[in-house]
């Protein structure tokens, strides 16, 4: 058997360390392509426009004669098309909006 | 131990050159960025906001003081089924047509209403191109009060709330 050569152990060890660190760096870079996916989805799902729009349609139609029918329209279509639970009373004291992520409640005592 | 302090300036110069090379490489690599899935919301949100703004502009009456007898464009379009008008105005508001630089935006518009048995019906209005299912579309919506019943329910008896939905995508 040839004589075991134990020269350059430090260099070999450093080589191992560098190659392992490259491996972990590659893992990090690999993950970076999907980082922010969930954030992006939650940003675009944020229902600011929905809440403003539904508040707008509720409050600007206080004078119409068939409030109950419109109330049912808004509640049913919201649930079906926007996956949002909407409740408001016809005296406009209370507006509730909840789409499973974002909740909005408004009380208006002065009306 | 040999104590040799020759070449100190050369060493400093070497370090300076090394730093310059590293900084240059850093700047060059950072000059461009990889478009990842996490960045898509920027374009999507812009498109969604553009659609919302266009729908909102269409739902503002010309003269608010006469709003009792002069309704918004959007309301008139739905009540009279003037869907070609919707297409013209929507493409104009999204800078797709008209003067100035145009976008490559396509849309598909429909509205949802509640019929007499509490079912939600979707009524196709108009599109600029048929949906194939492969589009990366965003949805903009707008609540509109209209004096029109769902299709098949006969003449209109009273004002109803409908939800106008527009799918928007870029070519």
pLDDT in tens, A47-63: 888 898 998 888 887 67
pLDDT band at A80 (very low <50, low <70, confident <90, very high): very high
pLDDT attached to residue B1: 64
Mark yes or no for CB contact B36/A77 under 8 Å: no
Domain that holds residue A31: 9-41
- Same domain, residue pair A65 and A17: no
Q: Which residues on chain A are in Cβ contact (under 8 Å) with B120?
A: 76-77, 80-81
Residues of B in contact with A74 (CB under 8 A): 143, 161
Residue percentage of chain B with pLDDT more than 70: 93
Which distant-in-sequence residues (6+ apart) come within 8 Å of A15 by Cβ?
none
What is the separation, in whole angstroms, between the first and last Cα of chain B? 73
Alpha-carbon distances, residue A38 vs A41, A101, B20, B38 (angstroms): 5, 13, 38, 8
A36 plus A51 within the same structural domain: no
Q: What is the pTM of this model?
A: 0.75
Alpha helices in A6-108 (DSSP H): 9-32, 37-45, 48-59, 67-81
Maximum Cα–Cα distance across chain B: 106
Number of domains in chain A: 2
- The candidate with the shortest Cα–Cα distance to B111, out of B101, B99, B125, B96, is B125
Taking only the tens place, the pLDDT of each residue in B64-117 is 565 556 788 899 899 889 999 999 999 988 877 767 777 788 999 999 999 888
ipTM of the complex: 0.74
Give the list of residues 6+ apart from residue B94 with CB closer than 8 angstroms, or none.
Answer: B50, B51, B54, B103, B105, B107, B168
Q: Based on the domain organization, do A57 and A25 belong to the same domain? A: no
Assess whether A55 and A70 both reside in one domain.
yes
Q: Are B97 and B91 in contact (CB under 8 A)?
A: yes
Residue A23 sits in the same domain as residue A70: no
For residue A53, give the nearest of B108, B17, B80, B162 by alpha carbon.
B162
Contacting residues of B for A43, CB less than 8 Å apart: 41, 45
Identify the closest residue of chain A to B162 by CA–CA distance. Answer: A73
């Amino acid at each position: 058997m040839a004589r075991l050569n134990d020269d350059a152990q430090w260099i070999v060890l450093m080589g191992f360390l560098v190659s392992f660190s490259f491996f972990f760096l590659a893992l990090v870079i690999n993950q970076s392509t999907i980082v922010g996916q969930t954030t992006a989805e939650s940003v675009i799902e944020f229902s600011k426009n929905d809440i403003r729009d539904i508040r707008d349609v509720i409050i600007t139609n206080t004078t119409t004669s068939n409030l109950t029918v419109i109330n049912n329209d808004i509640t049913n279509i919201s649930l079906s098309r926007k996956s949002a639970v909407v409740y408001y009373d016809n005296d406009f004291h209370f507006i509730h909006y909840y789409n499973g992520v974002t909740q909005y409640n408004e009380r208006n005592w002065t009306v | 131990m040999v104590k040799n302090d020759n070449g100190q300036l050369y060493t400093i110069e070497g370090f300076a050159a090394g730093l310059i090379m590293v900084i240059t490489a850093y700047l060059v690599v950072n000059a461009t960025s990889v478009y990842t899935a996490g960045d898509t919301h920027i374009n999507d949100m812009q498109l969604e906001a553009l659609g919302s703004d266009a729908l909102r502009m269409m739902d503002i009456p010309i003269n608010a003081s006469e709003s009792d007898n002069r309704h918004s464009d959007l309301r008139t379009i739905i009540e009279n089924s003037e869907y070609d008008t919707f297409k013209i105005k929507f493409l104009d508001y999204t800078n797709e047509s008209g003067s100035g630089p145009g976008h490559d935006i396509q849309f598909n518009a429909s509205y949802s209403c509640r019929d007499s048995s509490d079912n939600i019906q979707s009524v196709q209005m108009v599109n600029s191109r048929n949906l194939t299912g492969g589009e990366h579309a965003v949805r903009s919506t707008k609540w509109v009060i209209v004096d029109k019943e769902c299709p098949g329910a006969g003449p209109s008896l009273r004002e109803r709330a409908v939800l106008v939905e527009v799918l928007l995508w870029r070519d």
